[in-house]
Structure 1
Amino acid sequence: MNTSLDEIVFEGRNKAYGAYALRLNYAKNVQRAFAAGIALFLTLMYVPRLVSSLRPEKKTEYMVESVLTEIDIDKPKEEIVVPPPPAEEAPVQRQVRYLPPEVVTDVVEESPPPTIDALENAQISSQNVEGELLPDLIVPPTELVGPSKGTDIGAESAVEEKIFTSVEQQPEFFGGQDALMKFLGKNIRYPSQAARANIQGRVILQFTVMPDGSIADIQTLKGIGFGCDEEAERVVRLMPKWKPGKQAGKAVRVRFTLPVYFSIQD
């Protein structure tokens, strides 16, 4: 027996009431509604495209109006070079020839010495020069002395006291640059506060190498702080005497610049 669910439900009931007919035709009605919905959707989707394809396209024309404006370009102006005024010649001081007397064996004719009146408004010189009377420019005569055969002690002391920045023979750490690096690496103690803060860098020091090779006047030109500057100065004070710098074969004071590197090894 092929008995449907509708037959079982409406068994012994009034099938002409209407509900039986609705349940019996439900599946067909759903299929018809689904087909009608798809047809309506396709119609709404393709009708605008069909209408737009049937209408002729309107071409839009654009007009661009260009206006040309004449621009006057000024010609570059010629620079007028003004010649510099002529240099004024400095006035020439009147001079009178006056030479110190010399002891000679042969008699030579010489011009007589100048008079006191001639020396009043003139400057003593080795020759006669005609010029203007300039009382403000008159200076006392220079003492004429012969060449000295002795040694100028004052000049030598002045050279020794002068501090040079560049000399013929630069000062040097005994043993050279490698010995200097070994000395710094052996004596430098990394400051604890710099190590905790991971401070690394270069401290630039400057000091004077004396004629006897000793170190003096230590200064920090550029530091990194955290105790590194003080540590670098401390190690430089521990240095032994250097080979002094020399100028013209003599030991002199020389200003020396030394970079000290602080680096944390991994």
Structure 2
Amino acid sequence: MNVRTAIFKTLLLTIGILSFGHTGKAAEPKDSIYTFLPKMPQFPGGEATLSRYISKHAKLPDEEDCQGYFPISFIICKDGKLTAVGIQDKASETWTAAEAAMVKVIREMPDWIPGEIKGKKVACRFYLPLHICARLE
């Protein structure tokens, strides 16, 4: 019986913040969601631990289109909890089974270390572009 194994190539190179940041010049509403911070949010243990977490928990469906690019977007709240997890610019009802599986992995992650501005924890939108290559063994 073939076992589907996910291999995550260049994950550490593709983890990134893909949008322009807040300039900090204007007064912000109390619950702003930032896209760039002086101290960005972090997965506990860093990027290598994040890569291992995704590799361990990803259970991709048995289908041919599991390989590819998954532009995951989510908000890391002030308390480190994740919310609004999804595929960037794509409605959930149009996700493939593989996309839904990757979103599930992200939703079930442990809390992150939140981002900060001047020592104050703030919410931040985070973009996690995953390049996945699955192979049959």
Give the TM-score of the pair, scaled to structure 1: 0.37
Q: How many residues align?
A: 107
Partner of 1:176: 46
Give the share of equivalent positions with the same residue, in percent. Answer: 28
The structure number with the bigger radius of gyration is 1
Q: Are the equivalent residues in 2 in contact too, given 1:245–1:252 (CA < 8 A)?
A: yes
Partner of 2:23: none
Deviations 1:213-257 (A, max 9, x none): 000111211679541110111001110010000012100000000
Structure 2: gaps (5+ residues): 1-26
2:128 is aligned with 1:258: yes
User: Match of 2:88, SS?
Assistant: strand
2:85 is aligned with 1:218: yes
User: Match of 2:40, SS?
Assistant: coil
User: Match of 1:167, SS?
Assistant: coil
User: Match of 1:192, SS?
Assistant: coil
After TM superposition, which residue ranges in structure 1, 4 or more long, deviate above 4 angstroms?
Answer: 222-225
Cα distance in 2, alignment partners of residues 262 and 172 from structure 1: 21
Q: Which has the higher contact order (CA 8 A, sep 6+)?
A: 2
Q: Which is strand-richer, 1 or 2?
A: 2
User: Match of 2:134, SS?
Assistant: coil
Q: Are the equivalent residues in 2 in contact too, given 1:172–1:244 (CA < 8 A)?
A: yes
Call closer, same or farther: CA 1:219–1:199 in 2, change over 3 Å: closer
Partner of 1:208: 75
Q: Aligned-pair RMSD on alpha carbons?
A: 2.2
Q: CA deviation at 1:259?
A: 1.8
User: Match of 1:230, SS?
Assistant: helix
Q: CA deviation at 1:189?
A: 0.6
Which amino acid in the other structure matches residue 259 of structure 1? Answer: P
Q: Are the equivalent residues in 1 in contact too, given 2:65–2:98 (CA < 8 A)?
A: no
User: Match of 2:85, SS?
Assistant: strand
2:31 is aligned with 1:164: no
2:44 is aligned with 1:188: no
Give the TM-score of the pair, scaled to structure 2: 0.70
2:137 is aligned with 1:232: no
